[in-house]
Structure 1
């Protein structure tokens, strides 16, 4: 399991730095810088401001979560509730249903956005790709299975799979926001 020694002691979550590594801090910095870029993009793009502001809020929340490791708190609380209510032995079914629910909600949201955007979807391909990368990463992390944690720790040339998914998604969103910020607004003919 990916270790966050300062955060989890036994079965208790403690507030603190979730990922004190250089990559952890670079990822948090990436989340926050990209959140700012998306916010600025929302200020500039009046016809799609809500999309950029929603992305900005999501990235801010994910950046905070990256360091507080709140999903570990939810996992620990879920385990305590499962033990107390006597269904801990059947937790795999609950985990499976949780993941199915996450996938269903993510897929439905994605399809709704694609349908709603119609022809404008082409201009949002890069942010959508970044969002998909992040959603896949979040869903994989949410499973909290030990073999999944080993998969995320898998390295290719010294680069971990979880860095590729998480930083890949953040990078797609940052590049898309920078591109939109640097693109001049089209003026209406007078």
Structure 2
């Protein structure tokens, strides 16, 4: 891949991307939430009629959160941005990148809405336990995708500090926190079919 797009690897290289307290705290939240989802998948008191579906859902959340934790430190969306920039320059449409970025953002929003709808339909009958984590996954995946679009104004906005906190942290952490809290709640609920 590096021979195809050598320009993509000049601004990005494998390594630790957010080597500061909040970066590692965010990774820790992702990993603790992933562990909590795995525990819920394994030991959750799910009703017999939805047990398999809910277990698969919570395992999916656990794996997704581990991948998001890895992405947080490896900054893979920046590699994706660099590759897209190389392709745009190579194919001669780099000057029209703003339009492509807008199309990308709209596609991400549409995919997020469809994903939430599809998740709701797949998990119907369990939405009381799975609605918040579906929303949490949607929030964090949308955040990562918008970061990958690399709008200059978006980058400036999320690097803004509010009460000493970067807006980046305020926008990224709610997703994994929602999933973590929902997994704890789902793991503690009593089965409706118990006597």
Q: What TM-score range do you get, normalising by the shorter chain?
A: 0.7 to 0.9
Question: Displacement, 1:160?
Answer: 2.1
Higher mean C-alpha deviation, range 81-90 or range 44-53: 44-53
- Cα RMSD between the aligned structures? 2.1
Residue segments in structure 1 that go unaligned for 5+ positions in a row = 1-8
Change (3 A) 1:10 1:146: farther
- 1:31-180 matches, within 5 Å, as 31-45=30-44, 46-47=51-52, 48-180=54-186
CA contact (8 A) 1:39 1:53 kept: yes
CA contact (8 A) 1:137 1:162 kept: no
How many residue pairs align between the two structures? 181
Superimposed CA distance per residue, residues 149-188 of structure 1 (whole angstroms, 9 cap, x where no aligned partner):
1111222211222211211111111111122233355564
Residue segments in structure 2 that go unaligned for 5+ positions in a row = 1-7, 45-50
Corresponding residue of 1:28: 27
Question: Displacement, 1:136?
Answer: 3.6
Question: Displacement, 1:103?
Answer: 1.6
CA contact (8 A) 1:34 1:174 kept: yes
Distance 2:10 2:133 in 1: 37
TM-score between both structures, scaled by the size of structure 1? 0.85
TM-score between both structures, scaled by the size of structure 2? 0.83
Higher mean C-alpha deviation, range 155-164 or range 62-71: 155-164
Distance 1:143 1:78 in 2: 9
Question: Displacement, 1:37?
Answer: 1.0
Question: Displacement, 1:43?
Answer: 1.1
Change (3 A) 1:69 1:20: same
Distance 2:123 2:156 in 1: 37
Higher RCO, Cα 8 Å, sep 6+:
2
Secondary structure in structure 2 of the residue aligned to 1:118: coil
Distance 2:96 2:147 in 1: 20
Superimposed CA distance per residue, residues 88-146 of structure 1 (whole angstroms, 9 cap, x where no aligned partner):
11111222222222222211111122233334312223323322331342243132111
